[in-house]
Amino acid sequence: MSAYEPVIGVEIHVQLSTRTKMFCGCELSFGDPPNTHTCPVCLAHPGVLPVVNEEAVRRAILIGLALGCEIAPESIFHRKNYFYPDLPKAYQVSQFDIPVCGRGEFLALREDGSELRVGITRAHLEEDAAKLTHAGGRRAGAEQSVVDFNRGGTPLVEIVTEPDLRSASDAATFLRQLRQTLLFLGVSDCSMEEGSMRADANVSIRPAGSHEFGTKTELKNMNSFRFLERGIEAEIARQQQILAGGGRVSQETVHYEPETGHITSLRSKEESHDYRYFPEPDLVPVAPDPAWVDELRAGLPELPGALRRRMVSDMGLSAEDAEVLTEAPELVAYFMEAAEHADPKACANWIRGELRAQLRDAGVEPWDSQVTPGHVAELVGLLEAGTVTVPAAKEVLAEMIASGTRPAEVVESKGLGAMDASELAAIVAELVAANPDQAQQLRDGKDKVIGFFVGQAMKRTGGRADPQAVQALVREAVATT
Amino acid sequence: MGLRDLTATEQVAALAAGETSSLELVEAHLSAVEADDVHAFLAIDADGARARARAIDALPERPPLAGVPIGIKDALSTRDIVTTSGSRMLEGYRPVYTATCVQRLEDAGAIVLGKTNMDEFAMGSSTENSAYGNTLNPWDLDRVPGGSSGGSAASVAQRQVPWSLGSDTGGSIRQPAALCGIVGMKPTYGAISRYGLIAFASSLDQVGPLARTVADAALLLRHMVGRDPMDSTSLDWPGDIDVPSATDLQGMRVGVVEELMGEGVEPGVRLAVESALRVAEGLGATIVPVSLPSTLSGLATYYVLAPAECSSNLARFDGIRYGHPLPADNLLDQYEVTRGDLFGPEVKRRIMLGTFALASGYYDQYYGRAQRVRTLIVREFAEAFAEVDLLASPTSPTVAFPLGDRTADPYAMYLADVCTIPVSLAGLPAISIPCGLSDGLPVGLQLAAPAFAENRLLAAAHALEGVLEFDTRPPGLAT
């Protein structure tokens, strides 16, 4: 099987979360009753004209800048003509040969810390189609289809990559990190489940070492990263099987069925449409003022890619820490504030570990909780100073979550401070004296028995003892008695 | 002289002087609209017009066009008034919104009496492509009024309304104005919002006035120009449209387009245009010959670009969201049956031409090449206007032709626009004024100007009009 190398490129459609649609003033809506956000323009009544949403252009340019794309001084819209009931004009206003964002490059970071470079071919603006619901069967077999034009005309940015990806897991890594970047830009909700981010993958395989491309198939519309990864894997396997059996892959659109893990063919590309693209005469070119573009560039937030690299190289975090902590811009801000006041690695561990675990049941994110980043840093400080033990710190954290009290105050009021060494030594001496059999076993080299003493000590001290200190004291006591 | 013999400007004055009321004006014109001897109207909004007239009469202060009736080409969307664009596809369609240009006129006090007949979706030069019967030429009821704004032109010539709105893609205002002996003007592309104009060819379509005098055309234009936030291709209008008062053409250089004065132009038309040019000379103009060789490719260029755009613009008509779908077993059949039955033959011809011209593999050869020729034409006009102030030619190579004469020969029909199309491709303003008769039928003189030079164009047309003294009353029209 390793005789073949997969070649993968992806196309991502991102619904922009602007207030209004791409070419009219209707508000975007999710979950409102069907056909309540429509007007003559988005319903394509006779005589209407499109007007470009400036905010959508701004967001497309932000995406382009974040992906290192060239921003076209003058991009134009084209009409993509085809008949379908979800497209009321019977053409989609899109961009063709001069998109708003040209070539760029995205740097992703694999879990092992290695760099994944993905060339961006282009990113362009277009409008979404309306939503079709088929009743009584799928598509052609349906008894009835109904159209909801609320979604029709939603601004979309389509991002197209070069065929630079070589595995399903790289594709998933790239898409996850691209999604994070878009979230950081605040341009889209990027929900794969709700369809505000949709990805198609172009997949082909070729003999390892070859520089020619094999015949590609287009894997459509996978609604989660997990399905996307599995779908690509299944398609690679299917193509390998075909080639290994002496067959030829045919250029077609395929669909991954998550329930069965099977790939099914949707339509053959040979019968694909001729979209008769031509420049949209109802719109003038998009010519952003270069000063405005510079302003947008200067105002870009620090993006997850750069953040991850900084976290790993400057702050001593693992690639996995960095990936988790850059999941949401709020989490980054939270972590960064804590890390200013205490050891970053320890802050990372506590935030992505215990804090999130304890908050999970309540369904609260750290930044929405009563625990401030400053409190997290303080707790980490208490641990480092040996003022509290790890088990006690977990208890302190629970109280911080419940009441929003500073950790030092919790330690004080609940008496959770670590015990001083002489008090603990006395307890350990008592324990060793009271359990001569276990002490003897330990002397005889049965090291596991140490756990017994630690457990007893923790019980006696209500968790305030530092387990490491207990161990040391037990060994000392056993050796000297 | 009856109220219908007053020009729009005179009606405004009579209203201001308290000599008549809006309601009186509306009633006088409505009776002619309802009689409709030339089948100029497709829809009449008598009740609405009367109600508006009463409301305007009750206003303490009159808006500038208060109470003056107007006819609107059926290609323009009018809220609640059936708008068909001359097609069965839109039979009974009542729009939910009003076109910007119509709204601006209503805001200025104009009263819409009804919607005028036209070639289906503005495709044609005789109004014979209307799905609702042809309009007759008031000068000779056996002849066409021109098109596609034939209803708008005939209604003004017949004095059913003092003025009307038309749309011009390749000559659809100017040519029928010429054939009906009235004034018709196509402004600079972008001067008037296209929002609400049912698109034929978006890069060429422009709304414009038809009237009996140049001053009326100017007055109507003044209230429509300017940027509309609903139309990205509309333009901020520099300054104002002046009501013209010029009486001479002193210092004006007028270029006569050689290519549009030769073969194919009827002798009677050429004679009338040449004598009008001599009159212009008498008014102080310098007449010089100008050659615009690429205008000869205008017709071919137009008949690639306009059908290409129309094939896309008309794709939305499927009878589902408006109009009426014809029954069928599945989606594809429904598209085919509805579009196959409800579009007329000329519309289908152009959709097919345009679909072909845009097909991958043919795009460069047809659409791409036509765009390049269009660029050449634009450049040639620009070069010409470096030398002259105005360009002159016949508006139509012939006078009004008999009904049915060209319906079997699309190419002969297309030739009716040979003089007007190049100006459209260049996006320039042009006006047609009646300059004489040939065999008892009106001949139009076309004057074209650089972009935004509407005031120059109107001033020159006004000066000529004053000396030519063309009687716009058709011989058969009772006084």
Cα–Cα distance for residue pair B324/B319, rounded to 1 Å: 4
pLDDT one-digit tens code per residue, A210-222: 999 999 999 987 8
Provide the token pair at B432: 């047609």
B211 falls within a domain: yes
Query: How many angstroms separate the CA atoms of A126 and A79, rounded?
Result: 10
Q: What share of chain B is helix, strand, coil (3-state, %, to 5)?
A: 40, 15, 45
Q: Look at residue B182 and tell me if it is in a domain.
A: yes
> Residue B41: inside a domain, yes or no?
yes
Tokens describing residue A220: 């459509």
Where is A94: in which H helix or E strand?
Answer: strand A91-94
The predicted structure's pLDDT at residue A423: 81
A372-386, B45-59, B125-139, B164-178: range with lowest mean pLDDT: A372-386
The answer to whether A426 and A472 have CB atoms below 8 angstroms apart is: no
> How far does A282 lie from chain B, in Å, by closest CA?
6
Q: Cα B320 to chain center, whole Å?
A: 30
Q: How far apart are CA A25 and CA B230, in angstroms?
A: 10
Look up the domain containing B228 and give its range: 3-245
Catalytic residue among B73, B167, B294, B432: B73
DSSP reduced 3-state for B25 = helix
For position A140, what pLDDT does the model report?
Answer: 59
Number of folded domains that form chain B: 1
Name A15's bridge partners.
A156
Predicted pLDDT at A223? 82
Tens digit of pLDDT for each residue in A8-30?
Answer: 999 999 999 999 999 999 999 88
- Residue numbers in A near B198 (CB within 8 A): 46-47
Average pLDDT value over all residues in chain A: 91
Structure tokens at A159: 């991002």
Q: Which residue has the higher pLDDT, B430 or A471?
A: B430
Whether B406 shows a pLDDT value over 70: the answer reads yes
Which of A54, A57, A282 to mutate to test binding with chain B, by most B CBs within 10 Å of its CB? A282
Question: Is B149 a residue of the active site?
Answer: no
Contact B134, B128 (CB under 8 A): yes
What phi and psi, each to the nearest 5 degrees, are found at residue B72? -120, 130
**B202/A282 CB distance under 8 A:** yes
Does the beta-carbon distance from B194 to A49 stay under 8 Å? yes
A139 close contact with B: CB closer than 8 A? no
Q: Give the pLDDT of residue A385.
A: 84
For A173-219, what is each residue's pLDDT tens digit? 999 999 999 999 999 999 998 889 999 999 999 999 899 999 999 99
Neighbour tally for A141: CB within 10 Å: 8
- Judged against a pLDDT cut of 70, whether residue B227 lies above it is answered with yes
Are the Cβ atoms of A47 and B95 closer than 8 angstroms?
A: yes
Q: Quick check: B88 pLDDT over 80?
A: yes
Which value, to the nearest 10 degrees, does the dihedral of the CA atoms of residues B363, B119, B44, B174 take? 90
Question: Which residues of chain A are within 8 Å of residue B207 when distances are taken between CB atoms?
Answer: none
CB contact under 8 A, A88 and B321: yes
- Terminal Cα-to-Cα distance of chain A (whole angstroms): 65
Task: Kindly provide the ipTM of the predicted complex, given to two decimals.
Answer: 0.96
Which tokens hold the place of B437?
A: 């008769």
Q: Which of B121, B230, B356, B367 to mutate to test the interface with A (most CBs of A within 10 A)?
A: B230
Distance CA B436, CA B449 (A): 22
Query: Does residue B184 lie in a domain region?
Result: yes
Domain annotation covers residue B450: no
A21–B contact, CB cutoff 8 A:
no
Asked if A274 lies within 8 A of B83 by C-beta distance, the reply is no
- In this prediction, residue B352 carries a pLDDT of 97
Beta pairing, strands B206-211 & B163-168:
antiparallel
- DSSP structural state of residue A342: S
The contacts of residue A173 (CB under 8 Å, 6+ apart) are A108, A109, A110, A111, A116
Known active-site residue B148:
yes
- The answer to whether residues A219 and A7 touch, using CB atoms and an 8 Å cutoff, is no
Omega cis (within 30) before A265: no
Specify if B82 maps to a domain: yes
pLDDT of B363-395, one tens digit each?
A: 999 999 999 999 999 999 999 999 999 999 999
At residue A378 the predicted structure's pLDDT band, cuts being 50, 70 and 90, is: very high
Chain A residues closer than 8 Å to B195 by CB: 47-49
* pLDDT beyond 80 at B106: yes
Residue type for position B54: R
Q: Which positions ≥6 away from A314 have C-beta within 8 Å?
A: none
Q: Of B22, B130, B148, B294, which is the active-site residue?
A: B148
Question: Of B87, B167, B172, B424, which residue is the catalytic one?
Answer: B172
Say which DSSP state B235 is in: -
Helix/strand/coil for B172: coil
Q: Do the Cβ atoms of B90 and A52 come within 8 Å?
A: no
Instruction: Enumerate residues 6+ apart whose C-beta is below 8 A from B435.
Output: B272, B273, B275, B276, B443, B444, B445, B464, B468, B470
CB B137 within 8 A of CB B145: yes
Strands A91-94, A104-109: parallel, antiparallel or unpaired by DSSP?
unpaired
Q: Which residue has the higher pLDDT, B8 or A260?
A: B8
- How far is the alpha carbon of B166 from chain A, nearest alpha carbon, in Å? 14
pLDDT at A113 (0 to 100): 81
Residue B403 lies in a domain: no
B172 as an active site residue: the answer is yes
Across the range B105-130, mean pLDDT stands at 98
Structure tokens at A458: 């923790």
Q: Residue B48: give its domain's CATH number.
A: 3.90.1300.10
**B397, B417 contact by CB (below 8 A):** no
- Indicate the average pLDDT of chain B: 96
CB pair distance less than 8 Å for A91 and B231? no
How many other CB atoms are there within 10 angstroms of residue A291's CB atom? 8
Backbone angles phi, psi at A257, to 5 degrees: -95, 105
Contact between B315 and A51 using a beta-carbon 8 Å cutoff: no
Span B145-159, mean pLDDT? 98
- Rounded CA gap, B140 and B184, in Å? 19
Residue B283 falls inside a structural domain: no
**pLDDT confidence of residue A392:** 85
Which band of pLDDT confidence, cut at 50, 70 and 90, is reported for residue A389? confident
Q: Residue A186 has what pLDDT?
A: 94
Least confidently predicted of A353-367, B246-260, B267-281: A353-367
Structural domains in chain A, CATH included, are 4-288 (no CATH), 296-414 (no CATH), 421-480 (1.10.10.410)
Local confidence band at A139 (pLDDT 50, 70, 90 cut-offs): low
User: A384-411: buried (b, 16+ CB within 10 Å) or exposed (e) per residue?
Assistant: eeebbbebbbbbbbebbbeeebbbbebb
Chain A residue with CA closest to B229: the answer is: A51
Q: Is A263 helix (H, G, I), strand (E, B) or coil?
A: strand
Under the banding of pLDDT at 50, 70 and 90, the label for residue A1 is: very low
- Residues A310-332 have pLDDT tens digits of 999 999 999 889 989 988 889 99
Interface contact B363-A43, CB threshold 8 A: no
Q: Please tell me if residue A282 touches chain B, with a CB cutoff of 8 Å.
A: yes
